[in-house]
Amino acid sequence: MSWTDLAVNGRILIVDDAMENVQVLYQALRDEQEVLFALDGPTAIEIARQQLPDLILLDAVMPGMDGYAVCAALRATPEVQDIPIIFVTALSQPEDETRALEAGAVDFISKPFNVAVVRARVRTQLTVKRQADAMRELTLTDALTGVANRRHFNDTLELEWRRCARSGMPLSAIMIDIDHFKRYNDAYGHQAGDQCLQKVAVAMKRCASRPQDLLARYGGEEFILLLPQEGLAGATAVARRILDEVDALALPHEASPTSSVVSVSMGIATLQPGEASEPEALIRNADEQLYRAKLHGRNRYSVASAGEPPARHSA
């Protein structure tokens, strides 16, 4: 697939305090794009955080928080800082365009604008964003298993921690380790070991299918599953499904003292993000529970919520 084959349809956020300007842009773009709008800066920032548009068309001159302040705020917010911004404004002096570009805009369109030009520039920026997203995806994916790599996980953990802290929702993680994987490699060879990792990863992905769930390869035969806005009960239900799915693969593991087929051990942790804790605490708690699961015989999970000792182990 070439870059020109990438779809340019996307989600556009129009930010303008004049409803008539919003309507003109909406009419120009609605046939090709999903269009959102905001009539002031603070609302635009909140919509951007919640809806994650592919492109923002931003007026420079607005009462209260102007477009330059909105642009600066978006660039300072990690989860939306990479969204491209086109200024669409009545300002037309070279210094106005320079200021917009220095603020972080990718393009500048002066009013009154030509509808065809707006459409063309929107398509161009969406194509550029698709290319950048595709390249970024390559750098954030584990080449062997196709799931997220550790860098992707670390970045997502930071974002979801802040998101859950704002919304008052819990964040759960499941640390997962394939039991006696070194013995599997020794018995069946590294090529078979690679295939085992791939099959187990596919099985685990089936167990956490919400868009916000993230399965990552944490290192070697160890994986981690991040479950934003999910409590301990929901995370435990996912762990049970993982045990069942991996068992259903029925991958022979005659060298394992735990099971005749490939199995996994898991540690589950849930925290309420806030000022009193940090993202690393969630990982530490999950890792401690994984250790306990291994101590109690493997092929099981261990569960503990924040501030509580391990309470339950299940085969």
The H or E element spanning position 301 is strand 301-305
Contact 237, 266 (CB under 8 A): no
Given the structure tokens 């295939």, which residue do they identify? 195
Pull the structure tokens for residue 273.
């993000």
User: How far, in Å, CA of 250 to CA of 196, rounded?
Assistant: 11
Which residues 6+ apart lie within 8 Å of 136 measured at CB? none
Contact 299, 315 (CB under 8 A): yes
Given the structure tokens 């290192």, which residue do they identify? 219
Q: How far is CA 183 from the centre of its chain?
A: 34
Catalytic residue among 46, 221, 245, 280: 221
Count CA atoms closer than 13 A to 248's CA, side-chain side: 11
User: How far, in Å, CA of 125 to CA of 291, rounded?
Assistant: 48
DSSP letter at 3 equals G
Q: Catalytic site residue 280?
A: no
Pull the structure tokens for residue 201.
């990863």
Which residues 6+ apart lie within 8 Å of 290 measured at CB? 175, 176, 177, 265, 266, 267, 302
- Order of strands across the sheet that contains 55-58: 34-38, 11-15, 55-58, 85-89, 107-110
User: How far, in Å, CA of 174 to CA of 83, rounded?
Assistant: 30
Whether omega for the bond prior to residue 112 falls within 30 degrees of 0, making it cis, is yes
Catalytic residues: 221
